[in-house]
Amino acid sequence: MTVLPSPRILDLGDAAFTIEFGERIDPLLQSRVRALDLAIGEASLRGRLTGIVETVPTFRSLTVIYDPLVTTRRELTAGIAHILDEAGEAATAEPRHWRLPACYEGEAAPDLAEVAAWIEADTDTVVQLHAGTEYVVYMLGFLPGFPFMGDLPEALQLPRRAEPRVRVPAGSVAIATGLTAIYPWESPGGWHLLGRCPVQLFDPSRADPALLQPGDRVGFFPVGREDYETLSRDLAAGRIDPQRWCERGQARHAGVRR
């Protein structure tokens, strides 16, 4: 049985503090972060905690930002200490599961052959390893909606590229160290690019702009270049709702061969 350390509360200025659960990237720690985040949200809705502006979950910690004109750090930490035990129940909440299409071909996958050579395998094996794993969304960061997901199969756990790219196309599916991610926007980046996903991960017009949230589970299924283009057009035109279509077991499209 894994013994987890007790959480630590760390100062973060005069309107925030961080609750740290450990020092590594681990699904168990992520589960504890998610559980406390859910518990704090529920306590705020019920009026048991007041003055909380925002919570920010990370790989192994939860930052609480509050309004010092409404509450104090002492009041909040005392309230959170009372609900930490309840967080264990929230951890059993069923996570959302997603199946996202990814094109692992041509210009969508500029580093696929290099990664295959690095691990002494063929490109089909790399695709099978990557698409055959369900990943935990540990946290969002770097860019709006950018999901840090793990854990990669051991064979794909490679260091970052020696020379980062100045421009990584939006939708790029990438790997580095033990993690995989999808770039929601064009940006610089130093991860290895294995494919491209047509689903928009961040849309300010949605009630929840970020499609994925910490604690979600994500799997990929390969699509060809023609299917990728068809999906891109249908998603952009609003003919496909990604919040429904990409739920596990629901992803389907007339033109997509799976």
Pick the closest to residue 72 from 19, 18, 15, 20 (CA basis).
15
pLDDT digits (tens, 9 = 90+) for 208-221: 899 999 999 999 99
Query: Which tokens belong to 172?
Result: 């790029």
Query: Which tokens belong to 157?
Result: 């756990």
Residues 6+ apart with CB under 8 A from 110: 193
Contact between residue 234 and residue 225 where contact means Cβ atoms under 8 Å apart: no
User: Of 90, 115, 136, which residue is a domain's last?
Assistant: 90
| Residue 74 belongs to a domain | yes
CA distance 168 to 190: 9
Length of the chain in terms of residues written: 258
Q: What is the DSSP string of 79-127?
A: HHHHHTTTHHHHTTSPPPEEEEEEE-SGGG-TTHHHHHHHTTS-HHHHH
Confidence of residue 247 (pLDDT cuts 50, 70, 90): low
| Residue 180 belongs to a domain | yes
Query: Phi/psi of residue 131, each to 5°?
Result: -80, -15
Query: Which tokens belong to 212?
Result: 């994925």
CA distance 212 to 107: 25
Residues 190 and 146 in one domain: yes
Q: What pTM was computed for the model?
A: 0.85
Pick the closest to residue 61 from 91, 86, 35, 29 (CA basis).
29
Residues 113 and 227 in one domain: yes
pLDDT digits (tens, 9 = 90+) for 68-103: 999 999 999 999 988 887 655 444 567 889 999 999
CA distance 202 to 125: 30
Residues 226 and 169 in one domain: yes
User: Of 90, 122, 138, which residue is a domain's last?
Assistant: 90
- Taking every pair of Cα atoms in the chain, the longest distance, rounded to a whole number of angstroms, is 60
| Residue 55 belongs to a domain | yes
Residue 160 has pLDDT above 50, yes or no: yes
Contact between residue 170 and residue 200 where contact means Cβ atoms under 8 Å apart: no
The CATH number covering residue 59 comes to: 3.30.1360.40
Domain that holds residue 64: 8-90
CA distance 10 to 24: 17
pLDDT digits (tens, 9 = 90+) for 4-63: 678 899 999 999 999 999 988 999 899 889 989 989 999 999 999 999 999 999 999 999
| Residue 146 belongs to a domain | yes
CA distance 17 to 68: 12
CA distance 209 to 193: 24
| Residue 3 belongs to a domain | no
User: Vertex 12, ends 11 and 14: CA angle to 5°?
Assistant: 95
CA distance 258 to 134: 17
CA distance 32 to 40: 12
End-to-end Cα, the chain, rounded Å: 39
